[in-house]
Amino acid sequence: MTNRRPLIAGNWKMYKTPAEAAETARQLVERVTGVTDVDIMIAPTFASLEPVFKVIQNSPVALGAQNLFWENEGAYTGEISAPMLKSVGCEYGIIGHSERRQYFGETDETVNKKIQAAIQVGLKPVFCVGETEKEREDEQTLSVLDKQVKKGLEGLVSDQLDTLIIAYEPVWAIGTGKTATDEQAQEAHQFIRSLVKKTVDNDLAESIRILYGGSVKPANIAALMEMPDIDGALVGGASLDAESFSQIVKFK
Ligand code: PGA
């Protein structure tokens, strides 16, 4: 890590009722009050956004959404738009998580539209990329990342991307307990940074935060954060418990 400000983000996926989410948020706020050198975000389910926001307002913890649709409003049953998420306090929006690509038909094209929609309303996109186990075995990791990053950012220019965050999440490491080694993660992060340099520009490549995700825990965060191109983490399972997530936040 260099002088980029770390971001530790929790993806709560489809867990916790609104009451449970608010309680975990309360416990987290208690534990991270006073943390000033790390950005912290949690992304509960849509139903929990408002109750969680009430708890974390005026704390170091920011709110994120797990997904969004690219139109602002309309006849799109079951969807939610970027302006709606902003209006309930979201600062970040996770886009293109591998579970959405795998189970809900997200493609590089829809991911691109969602990134544009988020940027338009000032929601910081957390743009997820990563290879499957088969792709890694077939030595396609870098070509998969190349395609995902280029297509995801197509048509966007440097000025629009200053709030962009990229999360490298090898699909085989998500929820499996298998973490990429620090070196595997560093190699992918360095490659993604070089892609940003090639396709956008050098300044953005230097400033953009690239998070690692996939079985991050209190026990492995410090070593990951030692890597020069790892600027934070997107945490699933270990973010559901306030104590373990706060230990990750306080990795130093
Ligand atoms: P995990 O999930 O930490 O449970 O592996 C990470 C993610 O899906 O963002």
**pLDDT (tens place) for every residue of the chain, 252 residues total:** 468 999 999 999 999 999 999 999 999 999 999 999 999 999 999 999 999 999 999 999 999 999 999 999 999 999 999 999 999 999 999 999 999 999 999 999 999 999 999 999 999 999 999 999 999 999 999 999 999 999 999 999 999 999 999 999 999 999 888 888 999 999 999 999 999 999 999 999 999 999 999 999 999 999 999 999 999 999 999 999 999 999 999 999
pLDDT at residue 240, rounded to an integer? 98
Q: Catalytic positions, please? A: 97, 169
**Residue 63: per-residue pLDDT:** 98
Protein residue closest via CA to atom 1 of ligand 1:
236
- pLDDT, residue 2, reads 63
Are 98 and 43 spatial neighbours (Cβ–Cβ below 8 Å)?
Answer: no
Backbone CA torsion sign across 43, 100, 196, 155: negative
Q: Ligand 1, residues 217, 224, 234, 248: which to mutate, most atoms within 8 A of Cβ?
A: 234
Atom 9 of ligand 1, nearest CA residue: 236
Given a contact cutoff of 8 angstroms between Cβ atoms, the answer to whether 6 and 35 are in contact is no
Cα separation values, 77 from 2, 69, 81, 124, 142, Å: 43, 11, 11, 24, 36
Residue 234 Cβ < 6 Å to ligand 1? yes
Positive or negative torsion for Cα 46, 112, 78, 101: negative
Atom of ligand 1 nearest to the CA of 217: 3
Which uninterrupted H or E stretch holds 241?
Answer: none
Is the minimum distance from the CB of 170 to ligand 1 under 6 angstroms? no
Residues 6+ apart with CB under 8 A from 74: none
Specify the pLDDT at position 1.
45
Is pTM beyond 0.85? Reply is yes
Written as six digits, the tokens of 107 are 């493609």
Paired with 94 in beta bridges are: 126
Q: Which two tokens stand for residue 233?
A: 């983490």
Residue 45's SS3 state is coil
Torsion from C-alpha of 145, 62, 27, 213, nearest 10 degrees: 0
Backbone dihedral angles phi then psi of residue 80, each to the nearest 5 degrees: -140, 145
